[in-house]
């Protein structure tokens, strides 16, 4: 799972604040991005270990509520002065965020974390390929498809729960939607106000589902504490690290580094959950990572300027 600062968008240059220097060689920003990636994936691994206590929907509900509270307190977004279109954008952004998280947590409850993130990243990869419209991207799409076929054991996802695979692919589709509306929300709301409001929308969306699945388990102090830890690892720390990194790291470099998410997820799954990868699965994940990096580099090479506001 990734974070709202994801730069695998159709406009990589839009991810860096205007006027920010592009010192991509600095170890500090690179370390922050890697730290954010590890934090997200280790938070996801902790969430998997919490699911027997609260269920997948219960865990994602706790995560979104805790993250929303923190962001609303820190950002204190202004509620007045926004148009109906502004609110429509932030609501769709929040719905995409809630759906993305809910589908992803349902996926990792059924299939290994590394495989889930690999399938999920196909959403933003497809968005990047479609947005660039270059023939070379057919190569990256074919490479990603080859990785998925390899991961599936020949096309049938033999060792993977097909329902979990479907949830992961659905999360990827929501991730692509999330990326589009994240950029639009950022243009309509100052600072991180739109993110805070969208997180609240996502939390409200998931709340009845979490209560229906977990009921009184959500009120258990230990469960609340663990869910809050997931929120800190998967939301609060990554948002902070990535925001600091993007002040000096070129968005193109950031996007390429975010392509490493499946590898970080596989590492977290192995270290925390004991989910070892076979050589074939590792090769499949490497193919998807290579395809994602190639698509980002191709896109950056073609587009030197920011895209139009509604791209």
Confidence of residue 106 (pLDDT cuts 50, 70, 90): very high
Structure-block tokens of residue 46 = 């902790």
Separation CA 86–CA 199 (nearest Å): 15
Confidence of residue 208 (pLDDT cuts 50, 70, 90): very high
The larger pLDDT score, comparing residue 26 to residue 110, is at 110
Task: Check: pTM over 0.95? Answer yes or no.
Answer: no
Which of 33-42, 185-194, 244-253 is least confident?
Answer: 244-253
CA nearest neighbour of 48 among 97, 128, 110, 93:
110
Percentage of residues in the chain with pLDDT exceeding 90?
Answer: 21
Separation CA 68–CA 225 (nearest Å): 15
The larger pLDDT score, comparing residue 149 to residue 290, is at 290
Structure confidence by residue, pLDDT tens digits, 27-85: 477 788 888 888 888 888 899 889 998 889 999 999 999 989 988 998 899 888 889 99
Q: Which long-range CB contacts under 8 A does 185-191 form with residues at least 24 apart?
A: 185/89, 185/90, 185/93, 186/14, 187/309, 188/82, 188/85, 188/86, 188/89, 188/90, 189/77, 189/82, 189/86, 189/90, 191/75
In order of 64, 148, 225, 246, 279, the CA distances from 199 in angstroms are: 7, 31, 19, 21, 38
Rounded to an integer, the average pLDDT of 219-248 is 83
The ranges assigned to domains in the chain are 27-302
**pLDDT surpassing 70 at residue 1:** no
**pLDDT surpassing 90 at residue 179:** no
CA nearest neighbour of 242 among 66, 15, 60, 72:
15
Which of 11-15, 128-132, 164-168, 250-254 is least confident?
Answer: 11-15
Separation CA 147–CA 5 (nearest Å): 26
Q: What is the mean pLDDT of the chain?
A: 78
CA nearest neighbour of 65 among 210, 200, 224, 212:
200
Structure-block tokens of residue 32 = 């922050």
């Amino acid at each position: 799972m990734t974070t709202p600062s994801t730069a695998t968008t159709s406009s990589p240059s839009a991810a860096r604040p205007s006027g920010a220097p592009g010192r991509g060689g600095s170890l500090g920003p690179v370390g922050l991005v890697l730290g954010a990636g590890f934090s997200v994936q280790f938070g996801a691994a902790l969430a998997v270990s919490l699911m027997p206590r609260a269920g997948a929907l219960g865990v994602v509900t706790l995560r979104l509520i805790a993250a929303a509270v923190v962001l609303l307190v820190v950002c204190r977004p202004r509620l007045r002065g926004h148009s109906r279109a502004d609110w429509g954008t932030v609501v769709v952004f929040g719905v995409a965020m809630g759906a993305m998280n809910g589908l992803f947590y349902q996926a990792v409850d059924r299939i290994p974390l590394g495989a889930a993130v690999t399938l999920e990243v196909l959403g933003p990869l497809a968005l990047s390929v479609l947005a660039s419209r270059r023939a070379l991207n057919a190569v990256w799409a074919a490479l990603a498809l080859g990785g998925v076929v390899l991961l599936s054991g020949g096309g049938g996802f033999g060792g993977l729960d097909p329902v979990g695979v479907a949830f992961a692919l659905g999360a990827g589709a929501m991730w692509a939607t999330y990326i589009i509306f994240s950029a639009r929300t950022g243009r309509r709301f100052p600072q991180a106000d739109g993110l805070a409001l969208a997180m609240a929308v996502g939390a409200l969306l998931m709340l009845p589902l979490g209560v229906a699945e977990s009921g009184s388990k959500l009120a258990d102090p230990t469960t609340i504490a663990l869910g809050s830890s997931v929120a800190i690892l998967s939301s609060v720390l990554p948002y902070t690290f990535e925001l600091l990194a993007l002040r000096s790291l070129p968005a193109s470099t950031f996007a390429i580094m975010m392509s490493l998410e499946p590898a970080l997820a596989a590492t977290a799954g192995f270290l925390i959950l004991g989910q070892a990868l076979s050589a074939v699965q590792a090769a499949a994940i490497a193919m998807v990572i290579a395809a994602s990096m190639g698509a980002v580099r191709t896109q950056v090479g073609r587009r030197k300027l920011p895209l139009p506001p509604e791209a």
